[in-house]
Every structure is written in structure tokens, then in C-alpha cells.
Structure 1
Amino acid sequence: MQSQQLWTVRWLNAIGDVDREQWDKLALPLSTPLLEWQWLHDLEASGSISPRYGWQPYHLTLWDHEELIGAAPFYLKSHSGGEFVFDHWLAQLASEYGIDYYPKLVGMSPATPSVGYRFLMAEGVDKQVLFRNMLSAIDNSCQQQQLSGCHFNFIDELWFAQFPAHDFASWKHQSYLWKNQDFEVFEDYLQTFKSSQRRNIIRERRSMSKQGITIRPLNGQEIGTDMAALMYRYYLNTNERFGPWAARFLNGDFFTRLFQNYRHRLLIIAAYTDSAAPPIALSMLLVKDGHLIGRYWGAETQVKDLHFNMCFYAPIEWAINNNIKTFDPGAGSPHKIARGFRAVANTSLHRLYDPRLKILFEQIIDQANDMESANIKALNQQLPFAKNTRPV
């Protein structure tokens, strides 16, 4: 590697402006699939994530001549939708003080509330020096554009802890996580529950066969590209149920691209009433390096207990059979607690450039973090585990 004096900063307005092989040389070694070139490219190339919808790609890259040595996906945001870090209260405070909160710079994998965001760094480079250079580029760009702040969402907290001098404020958020306790079969998972909840899960599982429904996991080449249109339709069906609270960010072209180009990272749970007919429901998850991430699901019509089986039980069974260590089920309601998903904290990092906004945030954030910790503790007290269940 050359001296850092020869490093060049380039901000890119599309992930397609950087060579896929160079980007993935940095991204593929990571345990998250959400920072890989193909995932980010399919979001952008489909138009699902674009300036039209308030996401202007603005990716940071550092180069040693023509070699990519550092990168991070960023977006200039004109709203807070699709971030799942609910900072609308901060935007309201900014407005009351006459501060323009938008646009802001956000680092994350768009519309994907899953932990793992970090800077991509080449091997053989001094990580501390590269980190400082990337932060300096971020500060310079934000200040030149008079942005209110820079925000890293759903960070890889252990990774960022290597760089204690970053001077970002930390904000905790509640999410869910299932951990495989070296289960060998699904019955081992069932045995962690109190008898009453164990019976509930068994009953919910048996209700599928009673209703003539067969559930099959599919991955890799087992996934037909013709399922993309059906997945999109079911995705729309799910969102229609939530009205103004829907989280519809993706279009049909995104699913088409994903099912063509990214099947090696997909797990599809399909529900059938007739093996010769299309699935009546689909659940789409991402899988990489022993980690499972729940993303989207939907059905032709509402069926009793189908959601629990498609989004929890079938993926958990597949995870056990395939030596998956963790399962992030995605954002959502506390019914996950009853299925053995513990409430956990994820972290976002925030640097605010207006001194007034910075002071306001710092005055509030400690109390907000304390409240979130109390919420996580209260949720986990409701876990229906048997007393002899090992803590994880």
C-alpha cells in the first residue's frame, strides 16, 4: 500500500459507479450480506432506493491510486422514512429552533433494520488511519453542504468499538434476536419453553396440516425466478394491512433482480395447499455465514397461524438443521417474545453539526437510552422459558 498522502476520496452517486469486484473484495468477508454490491445495486437499479423517494446515494470511497481501500454506503435523506431509527422528535426540535434538519447524511443498508453497518476496509491498511481519513471526509462533505448531521444506523457495535475516538453520540434501540443453543432438532428448541407455551407452539404448527398446508424451505437454485412476481404481490398484500403504518419501500423490479442475481443469499419459505399450484404464501430471508435475517413475507389471504409458521417456526427449524447460529426476525411487535426471540439492543451513532442541535440531543439521549434499556428488560421478563433454560 502507498502512503496515505496519495489516498483519494471519491463520493459516488450510485453503487454502480464502483467496480463490483473491488467493492465485494471488501464486503464479502463480512458476516452481513447487506453491504454487498449486488444487494445495494438491486435496491438502486430498481429505483426502489432513489432520489425520487428521498434516498440520494452518496457513497464514500477511498482509493490508493486505482485500488479501493475503504468504502461505506451513504445516502442523503430528505426524510426519515425507511430508517427504522425514529428520529422524528429530533427533526421536530430542529424545526422549532429554526434548524434545517433535512437533508442529512445516513449510513446504512436502506430500509433494512438489521445490525451490521460498518466501514469496508482493505487488508494491509492501517485501520485506525483509514478510519480517521474516512471520518474526516464525512465531516468535510457534511460541513461543505451544510448538512445538519451524519448518522450511522444499525451499526456493528463491536467493530466501531475499535475506534473509541470517533466522538459520535450513541443511541440504543430495541430489536429481537434468536440464538441457537446448539440445538440438534426442533424438539430441542421446544424444550426450552414452559409447558403451556410448548403446547401453544405445537398446536400452531399442527394447524397447518389440519388446514391442508405444506411448508417447504427453498434456497439457492431451488428458488424459481418466477417466484419474484408472487413475492412482490404478497409483499404488497402485507403492507396493505397496515395502512398509513405500512413499510412499502420496494418495487417489483427489485424482487425480479434479487431472485435472478442474489439467490445464493436467499432462503424462501413457501406454503402450498396443492403441490401443482403456486404457493399461497412466501417468506423471504437472507442467509450468510451462520446468520439468518428475516425480511419480507405475505400471503394470498389471511390464514390462522400461517404467519407464525412462515416467519418463525419454519425458519428456526431450517436454522437448526443448517447450523445457523443467529436469526434476526426483523422489526415488529412483541409476539416474537412468545416464540423465544429475546429483546436486544442495537445502536445508532449520531454526529450533529449545529451546536444547538448537538446540545439538545445530548441532553435527551441518556434518558432515552435508560428508557430503552428498561423496555428491553421488561420484554425479556415475559419470555416463556422453562426455569432450567440456559441464558443466551
Structure 2
Amino acid sequence: METKLRASFHSTVLELSPDQWNSLLQEEDIPFLEWEWFAALEGSHSIWPETGWQPCHITLWEGARLVGVAPFYIKHHSRGEFVFDYFWAEAAQMLRRSYYPKLVGVIPATPVVGYRFLTAPGYDPIEMQRTFLDVAEGVCRTQGIQGMHLLFVDPVWGETLPRNGFVPWKHHHYLWENQEFEDFSQYLASFTKYQRKNIRKERQSVVEAGIQTRIVSGSDADPSVFQHMFRLYTRTNDKFAPYDARYVNEEFFLQLQKTFSHRILFVEASFPGESPLALAFLVQKGSRLWGRYWGTYKDLKDLHFDVCYYTPIQYAIERGLKTFDPGAGSPHKVRRGFLAHPHFSYHRLLDPLMDHVFQANINKVNQMEEETIQEINQLSPLKSTPLPSILGRPEFHPEG
């Protein structure tokens, strides 16, 4: 006999129990899917209707038991998604069609691969997915929402989405993978001679400036470090205005201190006896490491590379971590041993004309992105670089 599940809607994750939510997570899930991360974003009002994010989380229940969660947001803009769909919106405008509002499945302001619907053990995930998407489409039809967009999707989970009418759009992110290095010198040895010299020079310039760097766990960090992190995050974004990515406020960091500090690491750079000069905010779960925010009170040559890349990589090597995702950003990461890896977002546009436009052009868009990934990785100064699986087979660069 089929079990009848009840669907509910929630205007914030704060309506749900953290224990119930987190019971749906699997060990391999990214930490940003945990209730505490969403709660800090929404509870701080960093992600809230006033900032253009209307939470519309769908839950499935069997009696009083929560058995599924699909985190969704209704949006009238694309800021904070890190999937730059403005040209699709412009195409809709030229065709006198609406692209917004849209229903977006995403971890807000967090460009990390791993989003998925959460389902309890013992329930068919494919059936649960279909139920969630049927409910989501009903929301769209009744609210005049133009499409459903699932971003930074877990790669295995994403493979099941096309059967529900979703079309994949290819993007890339950067990732460092530990090649079983025994120490930092082995990591250096993986580069060409010129780049080994360059990395040593970049690290040495920080030492010669009298700056000391260390890793501090969020649990051990002084509470003031979280406040410093917000100020530095703000200062970094101010430098790039109007192209900043200032999506979180100070209360977000203060809430993470209370509920998420066991996942957090800081790379702290300072002059001896002084308060932090620069900070990087990292998140660790198991053998994986992610970089999220960084900032400095004083712009010093090569400090960014040491705080955001070399010190976290050294930490990862010393502790046997497998991967380090440094966060969204520029291709200069490839010069430090990161490679561009593909990931996908999935889209279903409900306007028939816009759906036709999207499907008629997406293969070309994806082909161009594949070429971009290959071009980026061809610049790698690693002596022998197994390129990501996007190429379909292992290929190697000769030493440059």
C-alpha cells in the first residue's frame, strides 16, 4: 500500500527543527546543506524577502515525521546565485517575454557544488524528487513564476533531472586534489621549475614582511575574529564595487559562531603581537575543504596567495585531506595547482517560446564552456596534469 505524504511550504528554515532537517543528510553531503548554514543566512536576514530572496521551502511529511526537504527561493533577480543567466533574461526581454520571477533551488550566496533535495532513508529518492518537482511546478503555475532553476547541483543527483524535463547547463569551478603529497615540498615538486621558484618567492615575501600565518579553528577563535571577518569581507567587496558580492551581513557571521563553529577554520595572518591583518574563512567536513571569504586591512604583495591558497593547501596535506575548493573566482588559481572542473545547473522554462530558445542554444553554450575549461587547464604549470573528466579520457601536458 502506498504511503500518502503531505506537502507543506515554509517561509523560512527557522520553522523547521534542525534535528529533523539534519537527519535527512548523508555523510557525503556538503556541510552547506546543513540547517545551521541556511538558518544563519535567513536568520540574519542576509537572505530574506527584503534582499530579493523569498524562501519557499517544500517539505514532505509522513504523519509528524519530516521525510523530505527541497530548499527553494522565489526571486525577481539573479544576484547571489553565481550562475550568470542575464543573457537569457535579456533574450526574454527582447522577445517581450518574462524571465522573472523564477523559482530557484540553491544554497544562497554559496557557489559550492552539492545542492540536492533531502530525503529520509527508506524512501525512493526518484519518486520523492518527482513529487517535489510536481509540487514546485504547481507553485509556478499558480504564482505566475516563469521557470525552475536548480544550481550547483550534486553531480550524481543531477543525472536524474533530465527525465523530469530539466536541461543541463555546463559551468566550471576550481578544485585542488591531493595527489597523496607527503608534505608541501612534494606539492611544489609537482610544478614546473619556473612555477616552483615563483611559489617559493610568493611565500617568502610574506615571511620577509614579518607576517605570521596560522590556522585557527572556529571553536577556538576569539569571538572578535568573526567580527574582523565581516569587516574584511566588506572591505574586499568595497574594492570591487559595483561588481561586489556582498550578500551576507555581520549577524550572519555571529550566528555561525554560535551554531557552525565546529566546521569553521580561519587562516589568520598578523604581525607578531597584533590583531589580524588578514583572514580567510574556510569550512571543513571530513576530507574536504572549502574557501568562502577573505579580506585584508592592508594590501600587501602575495599575501592573498599565501592566506587563501598555500596555507590551506599545506594544512590539507598535513592532515591528509583529499580536496580543496578555493571558492568562485579568477583563472589565476590554475597557476597554484587548481584545475577547472565542470559542474551543471538544471533548468526548466515554463514559457514555451523561452523553453525553445533555451533548448535551441544550450548545446552551443555548453560546447563553448567545455572549450573554456580546456583552455584554462592548458595553462596549468603542473608537470603532468591529468585533465578533468570533461575531456572523456586522460590527457597530459608535457613539462613547460
TM-score (norm 1): 0.96
CA contact (8 A) 1:174 1:376 kept: yes
- Give the secondary structure class of the aligned counterpart of 1:226: helix
Separation in 2, partners of 1:332, 1:160 = 23
| One of 168, 171, 183 as aligned partner of 1:170 | 168
| One of 279, 282, 285 as aligned partner of 1:285 | 282
Corresponding position: 1:362 with 2:359:
yes
Give the Å deviation of 1:163: 5.4
Aligned to 1:3: 2
**Stretch moving more, 139-148 or 374-383:** 139-148
Q: State the identity as a percent.
A: 43
CA contact (8 A) 2:78 2:85 kept: yes
| One of 9, 20, 29 as aligned partner of 2:18 | 20
CA displacement 1:5-37 (0-9 Å, x = unmatched): x20111110000111110010125343011110
- Give the secondary structure class of the aligned counterpart of 1:350: strand
- Kindly provide the amino acid, as one letter, of the partner of residue 339 in structure 2: R
Separation in 1, partners of 2:55, 2:88 = 23
Give the Å deviation of 1:375: 0.5
Corresponding position: 1:202 with 2:193:
no
CA displacement 1:67-99 (0-9 Å, x = unmatched): 111112111111000101000111111112222
- Kindly provide the amino acid, as one letter, of the partner of residue 115 in structure 1: V
Mapping 1:284-363, distance limit 5 Å: 284-363=281-360
**Stretch moving more, 330-339 or 258-267:** 258-267
- Give the secondary structure class of the aligned counterpart of 1:56: strand
- Kindly provide the amino acid, as one letter, of the partner of residue 73 in structure 2: Y
Corresponding position: 1:247 with 2:245:
yes
- Kindly provide the amino acid, as one letter, of the partner of residue 150 in structure 1: M
- Give the secondary structure class of the aligned counterpart of 1:105: strand
**Stretch moving more, 89-98 or 106-115:** 89-98
- Give the secondary structure class of the aligned counterpart of 2:200: helix
CA displacement 1:258-294 (0-9 Å, x = unmatched): 12221111111000102x3211000001111211111
**Stretch moving more, 325-334 or 153-162:** 153-162
Separation in 2, partners of 1:279, 1:303 = 14
- Kindly provide the amino acid, as one letter, of the partner of residue 200 in structure 2: I
RMSD: 1.4
Aligned to 1:259: 257
**Stretch moving more, 29-38 or 300-309:** 29-38
CA contact (8 A) 1:31 1:289 kept: no
Aligned to 1:79: 77
Corresponding position: 1:229 with 2:217:
no
Separation in 2, partners of 1:370, 1:324 = 33
Corresponding position: 1:155 with 2:162:
no
- Kindly provide the amino acid, as one letter, of the partner of residue 191 in structure 2: F
Between the two proteins, the alignment pairs up a number of residues equal to 388
Aligned to 1:140: 138
Give the Å deviation of 1:356: 0.6
Give the Å deviation of 1:166: 2.1
Give the Å deviation of 1:164: 5.1
Aligned to 1:42: 40
| One of 266, 269, 273 as aligned partner of 2:267 | 269
CA contact (8 A) 1:28 1:36 kept: no
- Kindly provide the amino acid, as one letter, of the partner of residue 45 in structure 1: G
- Kindly provide the amino acid, as one letter, of the partner of residue 369 in structure 1: N
Structure 1 residues 390, 357: CA separation in 2 closer, same or farther (over 3 Å shift)? closer
**Stretch moving more, 82-91 or 138-147:** 138-147
CA displacement 1:135-168 (0-9 Å, x = unmatched): 1111111111121100000000112224552220
Structure 1 residues 192, 391: CA separation in 2 closer, same or farther (over 3 Å shift)? farther
CA contact (8 A) 1:225 1:260 kept: no
The runs of 4+ residues in structure 1 deviating greater than 2 Å are 27-31, 389-392
**Stretch moving more, 145-154 or 319-328:** 319-328
CA contact (8 A) 1:117 1:154 kept: yes
Separation in 2, partners of 1:162, 1:99 = 29
Structure 1 residues 145, 391: CA separation in 2 closer, same or farther (over 3 Å shift)? closer
CA contact (8 A) 1:293 1:327 kept: yes
TM-score (norm 2): 0.94
CA contact (8 A) 2:218 2:266 kept: no
Separation in 2, partners of 1:285, 1:142 = 36
- Kindly provide the amino acid, as one letter, of the partner of residue 313 in structure 2: I
